[in-house]
Chains A and B, each alone.
Chain A
Amino acid sequence: MKSMALGAGLALLLLLSSAAQARGTGYVFVSSEKDDQVVVLDGKTLERVAAIPTGKRPRWLQFDADKNKLFVAASNSNRIDIIDVASLKVERSIAGVEDPEIFDLSTDGRLLYISYEDDAEFGAVEIASGRRVAEVAVGEEPEGVKASPDGSTVYVTSEVANMVHVIDAESFQVKANILVDNRPRRFAITPDGREVWVTNELSGTVSIIDAAKNQVVGSIRFQPKGFRPEDVTPVGIVMTGDGRIAYITLGRANHVAVVDVPSRRITDLVLVGRRAWGLALSRDESRLFVANGLSDDLSVIDTASRRVIKSVPVGRVPHSVVVDD
Chain B
Amino acid sequence: MSTTRSPVPDTLFLLILLLGGLGTAAHGAETLTVGYLDLADDPRYRDEYREEELRGLPWGRPYAGAELAAREARFPLAAVGLALDLRHESAAGPEELPARLAVLRQAGAAAVLVDLPGERLAALAADDLLLLNVSARDDALRQTQCRANLLHLIPAEAMYQDALAQYLVARKWRQVLVLQGPAAADAARVASFQRAAGRFGLKIVAVRPFVYGNDPRQREQNNLALLTSGADYDVLYIADAGAEFAREAAYRGQLPRPLVGAEGLLAEAWHWAWERHGAPQLNKRFRKQTGRPMDDAAWAAWLGVKALAEAALRTQSRDPAQLAAYLRGAGLVLDGFKGYRLDFRSWDGQLRQPLLLTSHNWVVERAPLEGFLHQSNNLDTLGFDRPDSRCRAGGG
B133-141, B210-218, B334-342 - the one binding chain A: B334-342
Chain A: CB-nearest residue to B378: A228
Asked if A159 contacts B75 (CB within 8 A), the reply is no
Give every chain B residue within 8 A of A204 (Cβ-Cβ).
Answer: 341
Q: How large is the interface on B (under 10, 10 to 19, 20 to 34, 35 or more residues)?
A: 10 to 19
Known contacts A179-B314, A202-B335, A230-B341, A139 near B284 by CB under 8 Å: no
Asked if A203 contacts B75 (CB within 8 A), the reply is no
- One digit per residue, 1 when the CB lies within 8 angstroms of any chain A CB and 0 when it does not, for chain B 336-373 equals 00011100000000000000000000000000000000
Chain B: CB-nearest residue to A137: B75
Residues of chain A in range 154-198 having any CB-CB distance to chain B below 8 Å: 158-163, 177, 179, 181-183
Known contacts A182-B335, A202-B333, A202-B335, A163 near B340 by CB under 8 Å: no
**Which residue of A162, A181, A230 contacts B76 across the interface (Cβ within 8 Å)?**
A162
**Which residue of A117, A118, A160, A203 contacts B72 across the interface (Cβ within 8 Å)?**
A160
Taking the complex as formed, is A138 at the interface, i.e. its CB lies under 8 A from any CB of chain B?
Answer: yes
The CA of A228 and the CA of B373, in the complex, are separated in Å by 10
Least CB distance, A256 to chain B, in whole angstroms = 20
Known contacts A118-B281, A203-B333, A179 near B72 by CB under 8 Å: no
Asked if B333 contacts A182 (CB within 8 A), the reply is yes
Least CB distance, B72 to chain A, in whole angstroms = 5
Taking the complex as formed, is B26 at the interface, i.e. its CB lies under 8 A from any CB of chain A?
Answer: no
Taking the complex as formed, is A50 at the interface, i.e. its CB lies under 8 A from any CB of chain B?
Answer: no
Taking the complex as formed, is B313 at the interface, i.e. its CB lies under 8 A from any CB of chain A?
Answer: yes
**Which residue of A120, A141, A203 contacts B341 across the interface (Cβ within 8 Å)?**
A203
Give every chain B residue within 8 A of A162 (Cβ-Cβ).
Answer: 76, 310, 313, 335
The CA of A161 and the CA of B310, in the complex, are separated in Å by 9
**Which residue of A117, A118, A139, A181 contacts B75 across the interface (Cβ within 8 Å)?**
A139
Give every chain B residue within 8 A of A177 (Cβ-Cβ).
Answer: 76, 79
From B72, B75, B79, name the one whose CB has the most chain A CB atoms within 10 angstroms: B75
The CA of A260 and the CA of B114, in the complex, are separated in Å by 49
Taking the complex as formed, is B256 at the interface, i.e. its CB lies under 8 A from any CB of chain A?
Answer: no
Give every chain A residue within 8 A of B340 (Cβ-Cβ).
Answer: 230
Asked if A179 contacts B313 (CB within 8 A), the reply is yes
Taking the complex as formed, is B278 at the interface, i.e. its CB lies under 8 A from any CB of chain A?
Answer: yes
Chain A: CB-nearest residue to B354: A230
Asked if A163 contacts B79 (CB within 8 A), the reply is yes
Asked if A140 contacts B75 (CB within 8 A), the reply is yes
Asked if B72 contacts A140 (CB within 8 A), the reply is yes
Asked if A141 contacts B281 (CB within 8 A), the reply is yes
Chain A: CB-nearest residue to B76: A161
Taking the complex as formed, is A229 at the interface, i.e. its CB lies under 8 A from any CB of chain B?
Answer: yes
Which secondary structure dominates where chain B touches chain A? helix
The CA of A159 and the CA of B334, in the complex, are separated in Å by 12
Asked if A182 contacts B313 (CB within 8 A), the reply is no
The CA of A94 and the CA of B76, in the complex, are separated in Å by 31
Chain B: CB-nearest residue to A233: B339
Asked if B335 contacts A183 (CB within 8 A), the reply is yes
Give every chain A residue within 8 A of B278 (Cβ-Cβ).
Answer: 141, 159, 183
The CA of A159 and the CA of B336, in the complex, are separated in Å by 12
- One digit per residue, 1 when the CB lies within 8 angstroms of any chain A CB and 0 when it does not, for chain B 317-341 equals 0000000000000000111000111
Q: How large is the interface on A (under 10, 10 to 19, 20 to 34, 35 or more residues)?
A: 20 to 34
Asked if A229 contacts B341 (CB within 8 A), the reply is yes
Give every chain B residue within 8 A of A203 (Cβ-Cβ).
Answer: 333, 341
The CA of A141 and the CA of B79, in the complex, are separated in Å by 16
Chain A: CB-nearest residue to B339: A230
- One digit per residue, 1 when the CB lies within 8 angstroms of any chain B CB and 0 when it does not, for chain A 82-126 equals 000000000000000000000000000000000001101000000
Give every chain B residue within 8 A of A120 (Cβ-Cβ).
Answer: 75
The CA of A159 and the CA of B279, in the complex, are separated in Å by 12
Asked if B75 contacts A138 (CB within 8 A), the reply is yes
Asked if B76 contacts A139 (CB within 8 A), the reply is yes
Give every chain A residue within 8 A of B281 (Cβ-Cβ).
Answer: 117-118, 141
- One digit per residue, 1 when the CB lies within 8 angstroms of any chain A CB and 0 when it does not, for chain B 116-159 equals 00000000000000000000000000000000000000000000
Least CB distance, B9 to chain A, in whole angstroms = 33
Least CB distance, B135 to chain A, in whole angstroms = 23
The CA of A141 and the CA of B68, in the complex, are separated in Å by 13
The CA of A229 and the CA of B340, in the complex, are separated in Å by 8
Least CB distance, B247 to chain A, in whole angstroms = 34
Asked if B76 contacts A182 (CB within 8 A), the reply is no
The CA of A140 and the CA of B313, in the complex, are separated in Å by 15
- One digit per residue, 1 when the CB lies within 8 angstroms of any chain B CB and 0 when it does not, for chain A 220-234 equals 000000001110000
Least CB distance, A78 to chain B, in whole angstroms = 14
Give every chain A residue within 8 A of B285 (Cβ-Cβ).
Answer: 118, 140
Chain B: CB-nearest residue to A139: B75
The CA of A117 and the CA of B244, in the complex, are separated in Å by 39
Chain B: CB-nearest residue to A179: B313
Give every chain A residue within 8 A of B341 (Cβ-Cβ).
Answer: 182, 202-204, 229-230
The CA of A159 and the CA of B281, in the complex, are separated in Å by 11
Known contacts A162-B313, A202-B341, A118 near B76 by CB under 8 Å: no
From A139, A160, A179, A181, name the one whose CB has the most chain B CB atoms within 10 angstroms: A160
The CA of A130 and the CA of B281, in the complex, are separated in Å by 26
From B79, B284, B334, name the one whose CB has the most chain A CB atoms within 10 angstroms: B79
The CA of A161 and the CA of B80, in the complex, are separated in Å by 12
The CA of A177 and the CA of B78, in the complex, are separated in Å by 10
Asked if A181 contacts B72 (CB within 8 A), the reply is no
Give every chain A residue within 8 A of B72 (Cβ-Cβ).
Answer: 140, 160-161
The CA of A141 and the CA of B378, in the complex, are separated in Å by 28
Asked if B333 contacts A158 (CB within 8 A), the reply is no
Give every chain B residue within 8 A of A158 (Cβ-Cβ).
Answer: 75-76
Q: Could you list which residues of chain A lie within 8 angstroms of chain B, going by C-beta atoms?
A: 117-118, 120, 137-141, 158-163, 177, 179, 181-183, 202-204, 228-230
Query: Closest 3 interchain pairs by CB?
Result: A161-B76, A177-B79, A230-B340
In the complex, given contacts A137-B75, A140-B75, A162-B76, what are 19 additional A-B residue pairs having Cβ atoms less than 8 angstroms apart?
A117-B281, A120-B75, A140-B285, A141-B281, A158-B75, A159-B278, A160-B335, A161-B72, A161-B75, A162-B313, A162-B335, A177-B76, A179-B314, A183-B278, A202-B341, A203-B333, A203-B341, A229-B341, A230-B341
List 14 A-B residue pairs with CB atoms under 8 Å apart, sorted by A's residue number.
Answer: A117-B281, A141-B281, A161-B75, A162-B76, A177-B79, A179-B79, A181-B333, A182-B333, A182-B335, A182-B341, A183-B335, A202-B335, A228-B378, A230-B339
